[in-house]
Structure formats: structure tokens, C-alpha cells
């Protein structure tokens, strides 16, 4: 089942990357112009769960990115790596309360980790697929954890 999810993500990767790149454009501008960091998290579930409901649980300054019924992302404004992990953990707690027995896989990257937007997004999905492949569910997995 995990391999099917990885296959699904890879088959839709170009579409997902395009959507996330569009969502992070204003954040990249703020990073270049003012040095303000941001973090991106992407989550995927094995089960057929409509993740769009989590768009109600983010701050007004953040951006929810709907990618598929069970794949979504969030851009966390004004966050470095550490705070991005905390923000993703907060969403993870809400997910676990709502869908107690379901697993979610989370990949995270910060603009501190990678400056080039296309590379940010590539590394983000690389982290997500790594976590799925290793069975690392229900924890925010930062790109720095797999890079070393």
C-alpha cells in the first residue's frame, strides 16, 4: 500500500510541483526582498481522507495547497525550519484527533534549507516519499533528517 502511494505521488509529481511552486511565489518574494523565511509541509495518507478540511486549521498568513483528495500542502509564513516543524506538528495533532487510527506522512522543508524554489519543492517531495518508504508516519519529517 505504501508503494502504491509513492507511485501515485510520482505519477502526479509534475502537477503537484507546479501547484506548490505557484503557492510559494509570494513567500519567495518576501524571502528575496526581506529575508523572511518560510516552511513548506506536504502530507499524504494511505486512506481515502479528504484533507481539504484542514484548510480551516491554518493561520490567515499561511497557504493551504490542495493537491489531491489525500495529498495536500501548507506553506507556513514567517517560519524557519524549527518553527515549521512545530507548525506541522500542530496540524498533525489535529489530524490525529480527527482521524485517530489513520496514518499520515509529512515532509517538510524550509527556505533556510534550500533557496532555489524548484529545488525546495523537489526536496520536499523527496522527503515525503522517503518517509512513506520507511514507514515514518505521524511525524513531521524534515529534509535535514534525510539529507545526512
Kindly write down the DSSP assignment for every residue of 7-63, as one continuous string. Answer: HHHHHTHHHHHHHHHHHHHHHHHHHHHH----EEEEEEESS---GGGGGGGS-TTSE
Distance CA 23, CA 74 (A): 9
- The whole-number mean pLDDT for each consecutive block of 10 residues of the chain, a chain of 148 residues, reads 91 97 96 94 87 79 92 91 87 78 89 90 96 92 81
Question: Nearest to residue 114, comparing CAs of 140, 147, 92?
Answer: 147
For 2-142, which CATH class?
A: alpha beta
pTM (two decimals): 0.91
Amino acid at each position: 500500500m505504501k508503494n502504491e502511494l509513492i507511485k501515485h505521488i510520482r505519477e502526479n509529481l509534475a502537477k503537484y510541483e507546479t501547484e506548490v511552486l505557484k503557492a510559494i511565489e509570494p513567500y519567495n518574494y518576501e524571502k528575496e526582498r526581506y529575508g523572511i523565511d518560510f516552511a513548506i509541509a506536504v502530507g499524504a495518507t494511505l486512506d481515502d481522507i479528504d484533507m481539504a478540511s484542514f484548510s480551516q486549521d491554518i493561520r490567515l498568513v499561511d497557504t493551504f495547497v490542495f493537491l489531491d483528495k489525500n495529498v495536500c500542502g501548507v506553506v507556513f509564513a514567517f517560519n524557519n525550519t524549527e518553527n515549521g516543524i512545530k507548525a506541522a506538528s500542530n496540524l498533525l495533532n489535529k489530524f490525529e484527533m480527527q482521524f485517530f487510527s489513520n496514518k499520515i506522512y509529512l515532509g517538510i522543508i524550509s527556505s533556510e534549507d534550500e533557496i532555489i524554489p524548484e529545488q525546495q519543492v523537489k526536496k520536499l517531495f523527496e522527503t515525503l516519499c522517503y518517509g512513506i518508504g520507511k514507514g515514518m508516519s505521524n511525524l513531521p519529517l524534515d529534509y535535514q533528517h534525510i539529507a545526512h
